C-alpha cells in the first residue's frame, strides 16, 4: 500500500507580488475534493492522525511551516518531510498515517475524497493489522 503514497509537486506561478499554487481535483490530485480541513497550533511533540480509512483518500500539504508524515501499511513504513507549500503527499485508502514534528508555524492542509464518516475510520492499530492481513 505505501508504494502508492507519493509526493506531488503542484503548479506554482509567481512574480514580484508573491506566489500562487494551484491544486485542482481530478487533475492535480487523483480524486474529487469533498472535504478540506487544516491542522495548526500543534506542538512539536504532538502526534496527529493515528488512523487509517476504509474509503477516504487524502492529499496533505504544509502550506506554512513543516511537519513529518509517517505512513504504514502494516508491513512497511515510510516517513515524508513536508517543507514546501507547493509539495503534497497523496495517501490512498487503508494507509495508516501519523502526522508529527510540527514546526511552530505549521499549517497542514488536508484535502479528502470523502465527506466525514466516523464509521470508516480505523483508529485501533491492532484492528488495522487485522484488516490488512485479511
pLDDT at 1 over 80: no
Q: Model's pTM, two decimal places? A: 0.94
User: pLDDT digits over 48-81, tens only?
Assistant: 999 999 999 999 999 999 999 999 999 999 999 9
Q: Which of 110, 111, 63, 67 is nearest to 87 (CA)?
A: 63
Total number of domains in the chain: 1
Tell me the mean pLDDT in the region 4-19: 94
> Tell me, what's the pLDDT at 134?
83
pLDDT at position 2 is 87
| Structural domain for 127, as ranges | 2-132
Catalytic residues: 51
Amino acid at each position: 500500500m505505501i508504494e502508492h503514497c507519493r509526493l506531488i509537486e503542484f503548479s506554482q506561478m509567481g512574480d514580484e507580488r508573491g506566489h500562487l499554487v494551484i491544486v485542482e481535483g481530478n487533475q492535480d490530485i487523483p480524486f474529487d475534493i469533498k472535504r478540506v480541513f487544516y491542522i495548526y497550533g500543534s506542538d512539536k511533540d504532538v502526534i496527529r492522525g493515528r488512523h487509517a480509512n476504509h474509503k477516504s483518500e487524502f492529499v496533505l500539504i504544509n502550506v506554512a511551516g513543516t511537519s513529518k508524515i509517517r505512513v504504514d501499511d502494516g508491513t512497511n513504513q515510510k516517513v515524508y518531510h513536508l517543507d514546501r507549500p507547493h509539495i503534497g503527499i497523496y495517501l490512498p485508502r487503508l494507509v495508516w498515517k501519523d502526522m508529527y514534528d510540527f514546526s511552530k508555524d505549521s499549517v497542514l492542509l488536508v484535502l479528502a475524497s470523502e465527506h466525514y464518516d466516523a464509521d470508516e475510520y480505523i483508529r485501533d492499530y491492532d484492528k488495522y493489522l487485522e484488516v490488512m492481513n485479511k
